[in-house]
Amino acid sequence: MASAVYPRFRFRLAAPLLLGAWAASVVLAPDLRLKLLLAAPALLIPAALWTLERPGRWVMGFFAAALLLPPLPIALGNSGPHVCLVFVGVGLLAGVLWSSRWSVPNSPLNAALATLFVVLLASIGPAALDSGAAVAAGSLARVTLFGIAVYVYFFIAHGPGAVSDTFAAIRKIYWFAAASALFACVDFYFHLPAPAGYGPQFIWLDSGVYRRAQGLFYEASTLGNFCAFFLVLIAVCFTRRRSELPISRKVLLGGGALFFTALVLSYSRASLVNVCVALGVLAWQNRRRLVLKRLALIAAASIAAGAFLTWQVFPVFAETYWLRLAASTEYLFSANERLLSGRIASWSTLAGWLAAHPWQAFVGIGYKTLPYTDYLGAPVVGDNMYLTLLVETGIAGLATLVWLNIAILRVAARASRRPDPPSAFCGTWMLCFWAGQTVQMFSGDLLTYWRVLPVYFFVLALAVRP
């Protein structure tokens, strides 16, 4: 009896001493970053325990952190580590603890997602051989980040992350997204100092040089693609009855102006093309219903409200953006290099290298190594998901991406015809948006948008889940 009491007494005596030592280390730490690092367990441990009470809670925590928080101001990677990765760790633990709830059927979509992840992972070998250990480590990190979206999909669609109320989940994500888009507009207006690394994307106007709107993503194309996703959501909502809407129409109208303004401030034309393709698919889907006029009016109203808001707050920028769009139409057939912002030069470099090294198309040089390796003579930014994957992961990577796109569109189309309103809504949303994605992939490496890609795959999982 005495031997059992003594260890308990010793623990009670040691615990306050350990807590006191930990608190003192936080107070005495000489650097603010070190203080935050030492104090993190006080927040992370309770948050992890709360999240693990229900296996799906970590997903919303991840979305809130990914969309509303900036990277940490720590020199690691391109922009610093992000807090949302903590929730990924919790999600992996939840997947292990509730392993009995996993049931993954054999389907083309599941096979395509798993195959693409394996192909990207296998490309790390060529990256190490061709570019060295440092570039290969970066490739592994980017494959892992892409894997987050794949894990979110399987966790929600076929794992323990059951969503009891689809529309409630969509509402939460919508408000996260609206807050993120609002910050992007405020950040562009005041040009707040970035707490971490950001893409050097600028606009040269007569009044000065301005950083393109990047929001909390610190990359303008990601912001534009993200806004396009929610503009498609708003468009889909206006083809549904009020009883089938996750968000009220008044809120949707305000959100339409906000997301369109943020998209314009991101200076992304490709994301605008994405929205136009999505609207075309949505119009085709509703060609036999009396909603096309209403959809056209709502789209025009949102665009007009966003354009007016942008012109009122950022008049010089708005004028420059609309002139850029007009010039894009003018140069569509006469000056493609100017229209595509120098992308043709990069594409020609990659195509020429493949022609000179056709055997390399079978194995690739490693996923996301092009911007960092000198293997081609100098780093190259592909800005084309299809061509980039062909060079980096070979024929297998390109074929798997095409397979994945087709599988997503087919599954989303089937879901859009389901009698269950939430599933049909998510299916229509994904069908329209991913049709735009397949087009935008010709001008951007969209699979690298790791902080927003899980949101897209989450909605896909909501459409797929029985």
Are 173 and 282 in a shared domain?
A: yes
Distance CA 303, CA 309 (A): 10
pLDDT digits (tens, 9 = 90+) for 57-116: 899 999 999 999 988 777 666 667 888 998 998 899 889 888 899 999 999 999 999 999
Are 120 and 71 in a shared domain?
A: no
Total number of domains in the chain: 3
Residue 66 located in a structural domain = yes
Q: Which residues are within 8 A (CB) of 388 and not within 5 positions of it... i.e. 6 or more apart? A: 350, 370, 382, 445
Distance CA 380, CA 372 (A): 8
Query: Other C-beta atoms within 10 Å of 331: how many?
Result: 14
Confidence band of 281 (pLDDT split at 50, 70, 90) = very high
Residue 197 located in a structural domain = yes
Distance CA 361, CA 365 (A): 9
Domain boundary (101, 129, 150) is at 101
Residue 20 located in a structural domain = no
Are 84 and 125 in a shared domain?
A: no
pLDDT digits (tens, 9 = 90+) for 138-173: 999 999 999 999 999 999 999 999 888 999 999 999
**What pLDDT shows up at residue 35?**
67
| Stretch 11-26: mean pLDDT | 56
- In the chain, the percentage of residues whose pLDDT exceeds 90 is 49
Cα–Cα–Cα angle for 202, 173, 44, rounded to 5 degrees: 90
Judge whether residue 19 has pLDDT over 70.
Answer: no
Are 235 and 303 in a shared domain?
A: yes
Residue 28 located in a structural domain = no
Are 175 and 58 in a shared domain?
A: no
pLDDT digits (tens, 9 = 90+) for 215-227: 999 889 999 999 9
Are 176 and 259 in a shared domain?
A: yes
Confidence band of 389 (pLDDT split at 50, 70, 90) = very high
Higher per-residue confidence, 367 vs 200: 367
Domain that holds residue 69: 40-101
Domain boundary (287, 303, 330) is at 330
Tell me the pLDDT of the chain averaged across its residues. Answer: 84
**What pLDDT shows up at residue 412?**
98
User: Which segment of 30-34, 238-242, 372-376, 455-459 scores lowest on mean pLDDT?
Assistant: 30-34
| Stretch 113-121: mean pLDDT | 97
Structure token pair of residue 169: 């989940």
Judge whether residue 5 has pLDDT over 50.
Answer: no
Judge whether residue 206 has pLDDT over 70.
Answer: no
Are 417 and 360 in a shared domain?
A: yes
Residue 24 located in a structural domain = no
Three-class SS of the chain: CHHHHHHHHHHHHHHHHHHHHHHHHHHHCCCHHHHHHHHHHHHHHHHHHHHHCCCCHHHHHHHHHHHHCCCCCCCCCCCCCCCHHHHHHHHHHHHHHCHHHCCCCCCHHHHHHHHHHHHHHHCHHHHHHHHCHHHHHHHHHHHHHHHHHHHHHHHHHCCCCCCCCHHHHHHHHHHHHHHHHHHHHHHHHHCCCCCCCCCCCEEEECCEEEECCCHHHCCHHHHHHHHHHHHHHHHHHCCCCHHHCCCCHHHHHHHHHHHHHHHHHCCCHHHHHHHHHHHHHHHHHCCCCCCHHHHHHHHHHHHHHHHHHHHHHCHHHHHHHHHHHHHHHHCCCCCHHHHCCCHHHHHHHHHHHHHHCHHHHHCCCCCCCCCCCCCCCCCCCCCCHHHHHHHHHHHHHHHHHHHHHHHHHHHHHHHHCCCCHHHHHHHHHHHHHHHHHHHHHHHCCHHHCCCCHHHHHHHHHHHHCC
Domain boundary (300, 330, 360) is at 330
**What pLDDT shows up at residue 11?**
39
What pTM did the predictor assign? 0.86
Are 184 and 44 in a shared domain?
A: no
**What pLDDT shows up at residue 191?**
80
Are 255 and 227 in a shared domain?
A: yes
**What pLDDT shows up at residue 458?**
98
- Cα within 13 Å of Cα(440), Cβ side: 29
Cα–Cα–Cα angle for 90, 226, 245, rounded to 5 degrees: 90
Are 155 and 180 in a shared domain?
A: no
Distance CA 351, CA 348 (A): 5
User: Which segment of 171-180, 336-345, 381-390 scores lowest on mean pLDDT?
Assistant: 336-345
**What pLDDT shows up at residue 250?**
87
Highest mean predicted confidence (pLDDT) among 89-93, 173-177, 196-200: 173-177
**What pLDDT shows up at residue 200?**
78
Residue 23 located in a structural domain = no
Are 286 and 170 in a shared domain?
A: yes
Are 144 and 271 in a shared domain?
A: no
Residue 135 located in a structural domain = yes
Judge whether residue 27 has pLDDT over 70.
Answer: no
pLDDT digits (tens, 9 = 90+) for 327-382: 555 554 454 555 555 678 889 899 999 999 898 888 899 999 999 999 998 899 88
Residue 12 located in a structural domain = no
| Stretch 298-319: mean pLDDT | 65
Alpha-carbon distance values, 272 to 50, 113, 306, 314, 387 (Å) = 40, 27, 13, 19, 21
Crossing angle of the two packed helices 292-313 and 315-330, in degrees rounded to 10: 130
Q: Which residues are within 8 A (CB) of 275 and not within 5 positions of it... i.e. 6 or more apart? A: 228, 231, 232, 263, 436
| Stretch 224-239: mean pLDDT | 94
